[in-house]
Amino acid sequence: MSDKEDWRGPLTLPERDEYLSRMDALREEIDRLDEVLVRLLNARAGCALKIGALKKRLEMEIYQPSREEAVLKHVRDTNAGPLDSDAIARLFERIIDEARRLERVVQEREGKPPVVGQ
């Protein structure tokens, strides 16, 4: 069955079984993609922590609005859909917020108050 088939009318039992099977396969694919996303997000967070340590040594603020704007512009420009660029930006705003929070937590755990501004 194609993705653009006619969705009207009742399904036969074999069609229903096929649809359920396709849905299960797609959910398994989503699970695999989620695992990749988790690994990538943790790798990104690791880089952010290293940048946070460098910022601390340089006595720079954790919050760098110009860098965050550049990241958001980059991901918007890179986006090819089907999510629109505003959705991508919202997702990355949350990712950036969590990276910033993690930088603060680690610096506080090390007994070093973070350099915070704005």
Q: What domains lie within the chain, and their CATH numbers?
A: 13-109 (1.20.59.10)
pLDDT at residue 118, rounded to an integer: 44
CB 79 within 8 A of CB 88: yes
- pLDDT one-digit tens code per residue, 12-56: 999 999 999 999 999 999 999 999 999 999 999 999 999 988 988
pTM of the model: 0.80
- pLDDT one-digit tens code per residue, 87-113: 999 999 999 999 999 988 887 887 666
- State yes or no: pLDDT of 69 exceeds 80: yes
pLDDT at residue 3, rounded to an integer: 57
Give the three-class secondary structure for 112: coil
Can you tell me which residue has the tokens 């009207």? 8
